[in-house]
Amino acid sequence: MKNKHIKRITSIILLTLIFNILPYRVNAKPMYIDARSAIAVDSESKCVLYEKNSELLIPIASTTKIMTTLVAIKYGDLNKKVEISSKSSNIHGSQVGYKKGELISIRELLYGLMLRSGNDAAIAIAEGISGSVEEFLKLMNEYAQEIGAINTHFESPHGLDSQYHYSTAYDLALITAKAKENKLFNHIVGVKDVDAKEYGFTRSYHNINKILYQIPGANGVKTGYTGNAGKCLVTSVNMGGRDIVIVVLNCSKRWGETRKIYEYVKGNYEFKKVIKKGEIVDSLEIDENKKVNLICDEDIIIPIKKEQSYETKVIKPVKIQVPIQKGENLGKVCIYKNGTILLSKSLKSSEKIDESKKLKILFKNLFK
């Protein structure tokens, strides 16, 4: 009996030692984001850093106003004063509180649109720039297609629920990345408070976007909510000089889930300079006596998961003809990760080559 007891204890000790010595693998669970659709994109390279159902057609509520602002800045006279109409002052949903007959500059309306999510501002902007909401929508839809937001359709400048008003998380990220190329847009969506006297406005504005106060480096962009769309949020966060755009749609915990995506990107990605501006990437043979160097006219910086590698491939034209202008596009460089293309950039000629220069080179080589 005693021997059996000793054997049992010995077996338990041996098993314990085995399980503590032998290596075992714990499969980490993929990050779960409690949103119907979500994405994180580097605004410059447009590289996707995280996504969940990012191509799903979905209502987008007041995140629509990102496009409204982009179109207004592109096509509008921002100093023009707009008379607030009945249609504008009586629109339901979120409002600034503009009164019928008030004269408000388009510039001020943009702050009311983005900081206070004013549907009244959206209508006033559309009427002030295009004469009617319907004409302004043409600009919104045309410009969306031009940007590459091909799965987007707008039926209003404010985003209240409508059957054929939709976008995708990916398209919204593209639209936001485009908007962030504009200095005024960045100021509007990033400012927390606007003083009426300082700006020469009719009233002061406080930004209702809580993400500006919750994530270090957050510099925009827009909240949204309707019954069909649920809670939505488009965020921009500066990470080491690069803006990361994060979109969560139909996300009841939008603040926390956005922060979770931010922490994921911050913890898993680093930005690598693949090619320096002006660096000779490759060369192109004009004939047996002359080559032209191919360069990039900008730094190429891409986000790469830590400890992952990337590949570059140069694509050159099969045949070229002289003359060649300095800065002329001559092929492109493509960056790949695991066989998937991340981005491509044009390669430029480093010098000008015309017929006289070509003949001079050929003549010189005859007497070498």
Active site residues: 62, 65, 117
350 close to 292: Cβ distance less than 8 angstroms: yes
277 close to 298: Cβ distance less than 8 angstroms: yes
In our burial notation (b when 16+ CB lie closer than 10 A, e otherwise), range 176-213 reads bbbbbeeeebbebbbbeebeeeebebebebebebebbe
Residue written as tokens 């900081």? 115
Residue 361 burial class via C-beta count within 10 angstroms: exposed 0-12, middle 13-18, buried 19 and up: middle
Q: Whose CA is closest to 117, among 237, 232, 250?
A: 232
Residue 26 burial class via C-beta count within 10 angstroms: exposed 0-12, middle 13-18, buried 19 and up: exposed
The residue type at 279 = E
239 close to 265: Cβ distance less than 8 angstroms: yes
- Other residues' Cβ atoms within 10 Å of the Cβ of residue 244: 25
Residue 118 CA to residue 264 CA, distance in Å, equals 33
Structure tokens given for 208: 């209702």
Report DSSP letters for 90-129, one per residue: T--SS---PPTT-EEEHHHHHHHHHHS--HHHHHHHHHHH
| Beta carbons within 8 Å of 17's beta carbon, 6+ residues apart | none
Residue written as tokens 């007891």? 5
